[in-house]
Chain A
Amino acid sequence: MSFVFYLIAALTVAGGLAAILFKNTVHCALAVTVAFAGQALMFLALDAQFAGFAQILVYVGAVAILIVFAILLTRNSETPKDGVYSKNWFVGLVIAAGVFAVLGWAVLGSVRVLPGPGGAPTATPAVTVLDIGNALMGRYVLPLEIVALLLTAALIGAVIVAMHEKERAK
């Protein structure tokens, strides 16, 4: 594995770890943004340029901002007395460790069926945006429309949820 991969991986993982470990919620939001960025770099390292840029646009540009907005809107003036971790946080940790163990086991157990170690990447796929566009409008047009519907519904829904409360609070 190349050095670049390890670097990007470390960056992403560190960002993720930081996101769940910091006490200050805003710091967590910023850390997760770093993780999103690292993720985008991973995509680019995998020759999925469109996905990488879409990741940056959507996640870093929208989701992270959204998270920050939400944090700022739901801030209480004082920090919680009992700490930021829930009761029985250890159980959650153990479960997460269990999940990683299982997944790791699955991956490592199936290494021999994955494409061979010595083999170079099979071939860099020549994927252009044109191809993606054609696919979107051709083969994947139904999912596209459904996603569009979904996004519309989500938009309206979020507005309604946030708005009604506001009226009642008045």
Chain B
Amino acid sequence: MIEQAISFTPQLAASPITEILWLIPAVPIVASGVIAFLKQPKRRMAATLAVGSLSFSLLLAIAAFVHVLAGWSHGAAVRETVNFIWIQFGTTHVDLGWVLDPLSAVMLVMVSFVGLLIFIYSIGYMAHDENYTRFFCFLSLFAGAMLGVVIANSMLLLFMCWEIVGLTSYLLIGFWYQKPSAAAAAKKAFLTTRVGDIFFLLGIVWLFAQTGTLLFYNNGAGSIETGALNALLTQPAALGLTAAGAIGLLIFAGAAGKSGQFPLHVWLPDAMEGPTPVSALIHAATMVAAGVYLIARVYPLMQAGALAGGTTAALTVVTWVGAFTAVFAALIAVAQNDIKRILAYSTVSQLGYMMAGLGMGGVAVGMFHLITHAFFKALLFMGAGSVIHGCHEEQDIRRMGGLRADMPLTFLTYAIGMLALCGFPLFFSGFWSKDGILEAAHHWSVARGPFYMLVFGALLTAFYMTRQVGYVFFGTWRGKKPARESPAVITAPLAILAFFAMALGLIGTPAWPWFRGFIESRAVAFDWHGFAEPGLLALMATSTAVVFLGLGFGWRLYGHDAPSPEQPDVLEAAVPWAWAWLRDRLYIDELYAVTVIAFYGWWTRVADWLDRRVWGGVVAGVACAFRGWANFNRFLDTNWVDGSFDKGCEELSSGGGLLSRVQNGRVQTYLRILAFSVVALVAILIWSSLP
């Protein structure tokens, strides 16, 4: 339910900043187009265009955010839209448009800010790559498309930008396309998200068919506004769901693909084949967050029909899937040895947290964790990139160690990010955002299962992050060449992100739930009594205890000296069968290869047979028929037409030959002919004159 704030008046008329809001995604896309035509050596121009366009978008985004902020502080619930008719057929028309409300304003600032930092980071990270220009072209296109997803007021526009985001993800994962593993990973990412997108598209079509519009907000006539929702609730679908619930589930399927929920998570770890800035931007901060953002955007639809305090079937499914994914991915992350792969599974796990938070606690809870996660996960990935860069492109953590001394700045920022991710209490934003989710889970009316799963996930998160930090930064150096610190262009963004990883916590504490109030357009005030809610302090204590437990356990096993690559991991030695299962990613990929991919291979063979034998046969048959017809015509022409013509001419000439025999030069012959003619004529004469 949209809680209409009692004291907040809706502000719907488009202000000047909303009128030009479309520039925010448009400028990076145009920059991408320009860079596409640049020659490869023009590296500085490409980087300048990309960074410059995103800076411009950031400035506009900040201006929009300030506008919403100003409106909010004056008691207006800002939701300004600009809609226009795109295609009209007959009486129906398809509209596109953009919206500026607190949700989109926050996402705009986050995406453009984190994106800009990563762009600057890429200038240093990709400096040695020869395809520098192409990289910035794709990055810029991605940034523009992601911003388009954020401001879209039409499901169709959102879907179009969604697909472009998927395309650029494919292009960027497979950036080093000569590597077969990178090309395969790009294809896997695209196809797996495609599976989700099919359901998404079905949901869109159904929504359009039921409500007649694809706009979200349209002065009361939008597809997720109360009028349409009431209509959807009266429509029954299968399995006891209403149309609203079914459409909600279909849209969640699309979000699950993009955000790597189980069972469509398989592409995300393989996507680490792309360059590290790509992993940081797309697979940590922004693109995977698009799924969460989509659910937040259509939250009224997901929540339609819920009684006060209760929940809907769609949200229940979202919660359980999210909780399961959180634990599932955290388990696998424990046994990975590639620095980026650990972070990838960590991302999948945290996305599960976000989905669970959305399902149980509402838009603000899920979105807060999304924002904080964006910052510290981008920080972690960029830190990992700095480590890889410093270790001369080594990615196996068993070959690193003791980098605390060699790369101090990287270590410091990485540690901040890691503690934020674990949810270290009080000073790190991750603690407050994760706590918000745990609180919502604790109060969930349906079941307690997700709460326990999420707590267990927190334990695992702390454990595997400590394992990773222990392997990488502590102990002795196990690599070949000595490591070195990265240049400032790489470490400066790390520092900025580390600051935000800590500072963002301040806007989400129970004492001052500023973020929640902003998103939901409610008034907030700083109040220490926010901590006095029943059970809140106990919950905070529980989560703190869990984090310390995980940290301690990890420290004990890996803090002093991690084993070398030849020796097995401590846990591996202890429970080798469990370790093998976890290291091999619980065999999900193998399961897919045997079932889905095998079926698809069979299906392609069938289709190929059909195409070659049946359709090809038909075509060949038609061609044969034509050829036969042509041959028949040729036969007719040569033998009958020509033949008869030739025969006729032959007859004529032989007739002429025959006739010429009359003129044989002999007088008596001529005489005979004369006499005969006379006889004939006279006979006729006489006979005709007879009475």
Binding site for B on A (CB under 8 A): 86, 91-92, 95-96, 98-99, 102, 105-106, 109
Contacts and interface: CB of A to CB of B under 8 A. Distances in A.
5 contacts: A91-B672, A92-B668, A92-B672, A98-B676, A105-B683
B668 A102 contact: no
Contacts of B679: 95, 98-99, 102
Interface in B618-644: none
Interface of A is mostly: helix
Contact of A105 (B672, B675, B686): B686
Contacts of B672: 91-92, 95
B682 A95 contact: no
Interface in B376-428: none
List the 8 closest pairs (A to B, CB-CB), nearest first.
A98-B679, A95-B675, A95-B676, A102-B683, A99-B679, A102-B679, A102-B682, A106-B686
Given A95-B672, A96-B675, A102-B682, 17 more contacts: A86-B668, A91-B672, A92-B668, A92-B672, A95-B675, A95-B676, A98-B676, A99-B675, A99-B678, A99-B679, A102-B679, A102-B683, A102-B686, A105-B683, A105-B686, A106-B682, A106-B686
A96 B675 CA distance: 8
Contacts of B668: 86, 92
A145 B679 CA distance: 34
Nearest to B674: A95
Contacts of A92: 668, 672
Nearest to A100: B679
Contacts of B682: 102, 106
Interface string B462-503: 000000000000000000000000000000000000000000
Contact of B686 (A86, A91, A99, A109): A109
Interface in B660-691: 668, 672, 675-676, 678-679, 682-683, 686, 690
Interface string B288-332: 000000000000000000000000000000000000000000000
A109 B686 CA distance: 9
Nearest to A103: B682
A96 B679 CA distance: 9
Nearest to B687: A105
A9 to B, nearest CB: 23
A96 B674 CA distance: 11
Contacts of A98: 676, 679
A95 B678 CA distance: 10
Contacts of A86: 668
A28 B96 CA distance: 127
A109 B678 CA distance: 19
Contacts of B686: 102, 105-106, 109
A109 to B, nearest CB: 7
A133 B151 CA distance: 145
A86 B669 CA distance: 10
Contacts of A96: 675
Contacts of A99: 675, 678-679
A99 B677 CA distance: 10
Nearest to B676: A95
A98 B675 CA distance: 9
Contacts of B683: 102, 105
Nearest to B677: A95
Contacts of A109: 686, 690
Nearest to A86: B668
B146 to A, nearest CB: 112
A81 B686 CA distance: 43
Contacts of A91: 672
B586 to A, nearest CB: 116
A17 B504 CA distance: 152
Nearest to B666: A86
A106 B687 CA distance: 9
Nearest to A91: B672
Contacts of B676: 95, 98
Contacts of B690: 109
A90 to B, nearest CB: 11
A91 B690 CA distance: 29
A102 B676 CA distance: 11
Contacts of A106: 682, 686
B606 to A, nearest CB: 86
A105 B690 CA distance: 12
Contacts of B678: 99
B315 to A, nearest CB: 121
A95 B690 CA distance: 23
B257 to A, nearest CB: 107
A143 B686 CA distance: 32
Nearest to B675: A95
Residue from B678, B679, B683, B690 whose CB has the most chain A CB atoms within 10 Å: B679
Nearest to B686: A106
A148 B690 CA distance: 42
A102 B682 CA distance: 7
Interface in B56-77: none
B291 to A, nearest CB: 113
A106 B688 CA distance: 12
A105 B672 CA distance: 21
A95 B674 CA distance: 10
A44 to B, nearest CB: 31
